[in-house]
Structure 1
Amino acid sequence: MRSFQGLPVSPGLVIGPVVRIDRGAVGLHRIVSDPFRERALYEAAIVLAKDELRRLQQHACGQDADILMFQIALLEDESFTNEIGDYIAAGAGSAAAVERAEQIFAGRLKNVDDAYIQERSVDVCDVCRRVVDILDGRPRRRLHLTEPSILAADLFYPSDLFGQEPGKILGIVSDSDSETSHAAIMARSMGIPALCHLGEGVADTIAGHRAILDAENGRLTLDPTPVHLEEARRRLDQLRRAGQQPDALASAPCRTRDGTAFTLLASANCSTPQSITAAIQAGVSGIGLVRTESVVVEQIDEAGQIEIYRRCLQNAGDKPVTVRTCDWGADDGGRWIYGVQEQVTDESVVMTQLSALMQAGTQGNLRVVLPMIADGEAWKTRMDQLGRCRAALRERGVPFREDVPVGCLIEIPAAALLAGEIIDGGARFLVIDVDDLTQYTCGVSRKEAGPAYRADNPAVLRLVHGVLEAAKARGVPVHLCGITKAELPALSAYLRTGVRSFCTENAYLSPLKATLMDVDLRTAPEST
């Protein structure tokens, strides 16, 4: 029996055989033809790859659909295509040209000082591997599970988890994935346990063995003894029985130990309205942040956007839903898709989204938050756009909600320092993205360890305190979003600073609530 410690990124406990993702060797027996034939082969492979991705997308939903959409967007990106075409013209084979583009584009993402964007480099590798496999005549589906199994890999590609029969994936373990990787995000959405950061070479070591995956305690036990198996089965029974009962925390009032009330909100993506339903059932007071980058990437028109936003509002019932307008330049790897960047800077894209939101606002309790506002002048520009959008809707004679509350996302120090000026310009509420604000304030990436990046860094807390003071003086509500598992221990500091409304994804709602309920504001914080 051997045990490995890892980073738990999706909770749960399972027992089963370990199956390793084997991607095999590439580049064997390649024959390079003339550049015209190689270019034709590449273009045919792109058509086939996009067709495969679209077929997968038809059966995908939520996060899976977004991943496939991003991969299709890369294959259509002009700079990506030109990079490959130039290398083919210089005499390289089409497969080698794609592999070279994979290194270049994935490398650009890995060098961005943002952990979330760095993790998106795996999308580049995934879709490029698909194209290379087509060119090399290799199968794209690398694994067919015949029994429920624990999947292992050094690094998971999104396509590794697509297309498996329901219930066949018991859990996933990885040598190097992280909390913000697609593997972790998909595991949480699938409700399966996952461990990452097991260490180099572990996936090879554990393949073919039976194991206990304990993502509650971050442990993978290989070839467990009968005693360990019995203990694991007993805990599984306890977890199953607990799962049949309502979450005790869900019905408990949101109050700290000293009786101070707080509010819990959930975050979601507009492409996963079902996650909104799940959050409401978990007892949240509303949806504090809905991301909308997917509507820009998919180039969804006004009517299509209206339907998406309406569905989100309907799933929330009468509870408030805060939709963030597209923020492509700030996350999701948008820096490497030039065509999408052009779309976002095109005012017609912005106006289409604002118009769709105001029309959908008649169907529920909608609020809109605007990202990446640096000062009062930037805020005024967005308010001018909103005014022109209202005027156009009136002229068209279509029903829309005139008084949709519009707020500002505080994610950069400039916005925090000028919060009062932004409120005076018409912001009716503020949303502080603590994760982004910490990164931009401290000037370090999320992957860098140490006290400088802690979410309760004194400089960040001072900025948040200033925002709260400006908002309180003007009677404007504030809530905190961008809360990841790593930030949970810092939340007591924000309670003490004055934050009373918190927003996180569904997987962290219960631990966030438990963390906040355990705080006693009557006592001094423990020194660290």
Structure 2
Amino acid sequence: MYTFTGVSASAGIAIGPVEQIDHGTAGLHRIVCDPFRERALYDVAVVLAKDELRRLSQRTKGPDADILLFQIALLEDESFTNEIGDYIAAGAGGAAAVERAEQIFAGRLNNVDDEYIRERSVDVCDVCRRVVDILDGRPRRRLHLKRPSILVADRFFPSDLFSLDRRMILGLASNQDSTISHAAIMARSMGIPAVVQLGDGVAALATGHRAILDASDGAATLIIEPDGTHVAQADCKIAQSRLHGRTPDPVAALPCLTKDGTAFRLLAATNASSEPDEPLPQGAAGIGLLRTESVILDDLSEDAQFERIKEKLQCSDGAMIAVRTCDTSADDDSPWTAEITKRLHGHRLFWPQIKALLRAAPYGDLRVLFPTIAGVEDWETCLKEVDNCRDELHRNSPDVTIPPLGCIVDMPSAALLAGELIEHGAQMLAIDIEDLTRYTLGLVQDATAAANRVDNPAVQRLVKEVLQQAGARGVEVYLCGITIESIPRIPIYLHLGVRNFSVEPAALLPLKKLLMEEDLRNSPVPKP
């Protein structure tokens, strides 16, 4: 775990993967033509750059639009144009001439005493980078985000943020920007957290890792690969920020920590039929189980399912959403068959749902969970069908993202084969404790009796097996299927090693209160 401390530029807090925006041009090999051709190429690049800036300005308003108009004016400035033209006439390439002008004009602004004017040097760098990228044939969009991320850069350019979908930006972390830089101003207007002046080395250490960006309550830190305690505290702050004016429960305002400081995580279990913009229940750090039976029963098309899941992800502010594909045991009158192989052959139901999920994956932190997996053969059948759906989508879109895929462990066979399932590609395991109890104890038709026996020693032994196999392979395990009736029997699984709990909304805070009273130092792990 690494912690960088900086200055808060926009209040808020975010947890997520870190992606770097790199403005470097190292390694480019340029061929310089005669001065007349280089000047012609430069003139064309300026026309294209101005056209791009005008289109961007039409999608923005207020101060953001003014930034772009200033950049257009700079490209039309006579002294700026003459500086570049003279250097090209002396034999330099167009890109090198623009880079030289960038240094000269940005340097002049950096030498001004007024901090606000000094910060405007970033506009010079930004517009010059745009022209250079056109001349070098590089894309103007520095980053293609496939999931909501915290962005890190030595210094952010306005175009970095203009070119990205706001919903994909969790926060900004910068080495050099100040609280009055364009990046800071834009972060405040966009309502995303930002920490600046973090110092050298942050991008190299943070990129590709999970981090907490905390600019709340006077904090200004970027914590790379945070431990469970920091995640619990951050989850609590994020949950509070999502209350949207609702009166918070005092327990919801506390981090998810036991008496001895062991961190745990609470997620909600809910239905896909709920309103997409419905806020997360108090105390939930995400959705650990999104049931989709209602979507199937409503006979929604692939496009309709895609829109519903996409809206859920877009409204989640980067929180995890784990979608369970249709569960054959969720309804006695379900139109699908009991065996997963038969269900998969019925592509009319399965393929539209999988394709909708693959299409929605870039819009948030999506996970997909498959229920009723008896063993490796069932799991590999699922993976094959996902690949088939991806291949079909590739015909219209070459860039299809497969989100993390996992299993619902709801049968004893899946629990005993957890290690094999992980070795064959399962990236997440969610133990449905109620279903596992039903199938283990022969209570298939009696959910009430199962809820009262989820702590049965046989069930504990199966859960412990899953935890051991997953822990040895670095895969997260979630306990789901927790109802208000089963809450008193759940703490034993905290002692066994479960740290992630997916709970129906009514049971979230009661379970949190119960788990916070546990002390793992003084309670030996039960021997089932």
Q: Which structure dedicates a bigger proportion of its chain to helix?
A: 1
When Rg is computed on C-alpha atoms for both structures, the one with the higher figure is 2
> What TM-score, normalized by structure 1, do the two folds share?
0.50
